[in-house]
Amino acid sequence: MRIGIIKETKVPEDNRVALSPQEIVDLQQKFPDVEFVVQKSDIRVYSDEEYALKGIRLVDHVDDCDVLFGIKEADIESLISNKHYFFFGHIAKMQPYNKPLLKRMMELNITFSDYEYLVDEKGHRLCAFGWWAGVVGVYNTLRAYGLRMRMFELPKPDKRFTLSCMLEEVKKKFIYSSLKIVVTGNGRVSHGAQYFLNEIGIKQVPPQEFIEQGFDSSVYTVAKLSDTVCHIGGESVFDRVEFQAHPELYKSNFLPFARVSDIFISCHYWGPQDPIYLRKEDLRNPEVKIKVIGDVTCDIMGSVQSTLRPSTHKDPFYDYNPCTEMEEIAFSSESNVTVMAVDTLPNALALDTSDYFGKALVKHVINDMLRGNTDESDVINRATILKKGELTERFGYLRDYAYTE
């Protein structure tokens, strides 16, 4: 078997990689009959030279590989027939912009496994970047706050930035005041945000204390779903099962947090039928104190209606004018809300996240594959959308999506 690491072609560029040089060396020692090759790239966080120094072959083309690993969607023109691809496809939720990608993979008899659906028997994701999105989301949001308030200036992460660098910079430059920060959600993204806030010394307090009390130092709270939505009748206790089945029976209860928070870091899962946490009219409400919103989940015009578009690592901030409901230049007016909505946050820590992701990939996918157990692997099968160009049973619902114009 020959395995190829493909170069990233998505714009804006992604510097992450599925396997680091050392991870490939370790795999080749364990499986000497398998060859790994790396397609040349000048944007990858690990340079071509770093792979070459480990004795890994660099190539211009990966046509002779059996399995190809990337991070973001492969460019349609680069697809090679009859190969097995792994990357984040953004297809299974029927995203319109990637319909041509799915159709072309079907035409080329490609087998495609999507990282997003590498899950265990309970549906828990095994290879995900969510925790890191929460970490970088906090850093970027604090950076926005410092620039807006002209209190401190944190550096923009460069390609070789690490988590330890981020923590060191914040501890060195962040000017502590009596900030109140609300973090929503309780999944991996939220846990990453909580980790970062804990590491820089910001104290966590319960939601009710956060709403009702004042504090002499900076604090944050975690507002879970049961804290942020309530039954439209106002009397029933929050019922998660009912909410998941009938979100229309619930409304937002986020305003008490918005009245007392300086910073809102959005890390919760949101579906199109779920309550909107901050509507346009809420953002115009003079009682709403929030000045900086870090929308880590980046749902465009979703649960936070100041998120008009995704932003980029190169230009991560913009202002939302609550009166005109339009975007303005970042930090241009005290009456605006500053938004951070980068939708590829983990790429800011490409070294750390590549190493983390590669270890998970080896553990849950590659070891089985190299032992010849690809077809028997439940983890790989659950994530496989196409098998030789045909939709698998699990993803059969995509048939109409794939074949309609």
Within this chain, domains 2-127+351-403 and 130-348 share the same CATH topology: yes
Residue 337: phi, psi to the nearest 5? Answer: -105, 130
Q: Which CATH superfamily is domain 130-348 in?
A: NAD(P)-binding Rossmann-like Domain (3.40.50.720)
The pLDDT assigned to 376 comes to 87
% the chain with pLDDT above 70: 100
* Top-tier CATH class for 2-127+351-403: alpha beta
pLDDT digits 0-9 by tens, 257-307? 999 999 999 999 988 889 999 999 999 999 999 999 999 999 899 999 999
pLDDT digits 0-9 by tens, 223-269? 999 999 999 987 778 889 999 999 999 999 999 999 999 999 999 99
Q: Delimit the domains of the chain by residue range.
A: 2-127+351-403, 130-348
Buried b (16+ CB within 10 A) or exposed e, 224-233: bbebbbbbee
Cα distances (angstroms) measured from residue 108 to each of 61, 69, 383, 387, 398: 17, 17, 19, 11, 17
Over residues 363-391, the mean pLDDT reads 93
Residues 383, 141: Cα–Cα separation, whole Å: 33
Contacts of 291 (CB under 8 A, 6+ apart): 145, 148, 262, 263, 337, 338
DSSP state of 362: I
Q: Assess whether pLDDT exceeds 80 at residue 142.
A: yes
Residues 196, 194: Cα–Cα separation, whole Å: 5
Q: Name the one residue in this structure whose structure tokens are 């995509």.
A: 398
Supply 119's token pair.
Answer: 């899950």
Confidence of residue 177 (pLDDT cuts 50, 70, 90): confident
Cα distances (angstroms) measured from residue 6 to each of 54, 74, 180, 187: 18, 8, 44, 31
Residue among 65, 100, 97 nearest 83 (CA): 65
Using CA atoms of 109, 111, 114, 118 in order, give the dihedral in degrees to the nearest 10: 160
The pLDDT assigned to 62 comes to 97
The pLDDT assigned to 354 comes to 96
Q: Name the one residue in this structure whose structure tokens are 């010394």.
A: 201
- DSSP H or E stretch at residue 321: strand 317-321
Residues 387, 86: Cα–Cα separation, whole Å: 12
The pLDDT assigned to 82 comes to 97
Three-class DSSP category at 182 = strand
pTM of the model: 0.89
The pLDDT assigned to 236 comes to 76
Over residues 348-356, the mean pLDDT reads 96
Cα distances (angstroms) measured from residue 29 to each of 26, 172, 252, 366: 5, 42, 55, 14
The pLDDT assigned to 22 comes to 96
Supply 276's token pair.
Answer: 């909107």
Residues 367, 23: Cα–Cα separation, whole Å: 12
Do 79 and 108 touch, CB atoms closer than 8 A?
yes
Do 315 and 321 touch, CB atoms closer than 8 A?
no
Q: Name the one residue in this structure whose structure tokens are 């490409």.
A: 350
